[in-house]
């Protein structure tokens, strides 16, 4: 698992992709989750970059606290994280973890005396059920995230990509 500093840095991307590819080759089951923070851009713009960075550190810390020692997470966009949860084989297990992540991320965050509330949507795909190649799995997770966001902002929805 990367620490909070690593989660905010793009340099772990290659290691994350290599780990993901290796897990696919070795056949280890896992869940791949795309976590998108809703309202983060608005909060960051209105409160400034420093507040946005502090929010990201807190979010990274909260992700780390809910993931296992062998699991990985990486910031993949301005308001998006990708999570690799190893050993997750069942849809129910992935859904429970995602619900825990959403619940934890939605707790208020205090930065410089200001209270922030964010919401999150998560798209989930499972290996090997939804694909056997890491790029395809990322595509499925992205499609699932799109479905999760469809009901609108602040809606908590966890969608599983259908096998193709």
Residue 63 has what pLDDT? Answer: 93
Q: CB–CB of 126/94 below 8 Å?
A: yes
Sheet with 72-77, side-by-side order of all strands: 72-77, 80-86, 30-38, 119-127, 158-160
Could you list the pLDDT tens digit for every one of the 164 residues in the chain?
Answer: 444 445 455 557 788 888 899 999 999 899 999 999 988 877 777 788 888 888 888 999 999 999 999 899 988 888 899 999 998 989 899 999 999 999 999 899 988 788 888 889 999 999 999 888 999 999 999 988 988 888 765 444 566 666 65
List phi, psi (to 5°) of 151.
Answer: -65, -15
The domain tally of the chain equals: 1
Q: State the pairing for strand pair 109-111/158-160.
A: unpaired
Omega within 30 of 0 (cis) for the link into 41: no
| CATH number of the domain that residue 23 is part of | 3.30.70.270
- What tokens appear for 106 in the block? 């939605």
pTM of the entire predicted model: 0.85
| DSSP bridge pairs for 47 | none
How far is it, in rounded angstroms, from Cα 51 to Cα 116? 10
Task: Name the H helices within the chain.
Answer: 4-7, 13-26, 40-47, 49-66, 91-105, 134-149
> 104: domain range?
4-160
Residue among 48, 50, 29 nearest 137 (CA): 29
């Amino acid at each position: 698992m990367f620490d909070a500093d690593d989660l905010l840095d793009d340099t772990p991307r290659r290691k994350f992709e290599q780990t993901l590819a290796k897990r696919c080759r070795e056949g280890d089951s896992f869940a791949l989750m795309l976590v998108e923070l809703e309202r983060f851009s608005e909060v960051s713009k209105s409160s400034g970059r420093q507040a946005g960075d502090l929010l990201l550190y807190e979010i990274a810390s909260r992700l780390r606290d809910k993931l296992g020692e062998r699991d990985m997470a990486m910031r993949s966009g301005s308001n998006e994280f990708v999570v690799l949860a190893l050993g997750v084989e069942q849809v129910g297990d992935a859904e429970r973890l995602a619900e825990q992540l959403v619940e934890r991320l939605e707790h208020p965050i205090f930065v410089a005396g200001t209270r922030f509330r964010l919401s999150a949507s998560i798209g989930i795909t499972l290996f090997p059920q939804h694909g056997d190649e890491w790029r395809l799995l990322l595509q499925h997770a992205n499609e699932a995230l799109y479905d999760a966001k469809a009901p609108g902002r602040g809606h908590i929805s966890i969608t599983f990509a259908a096998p193709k």
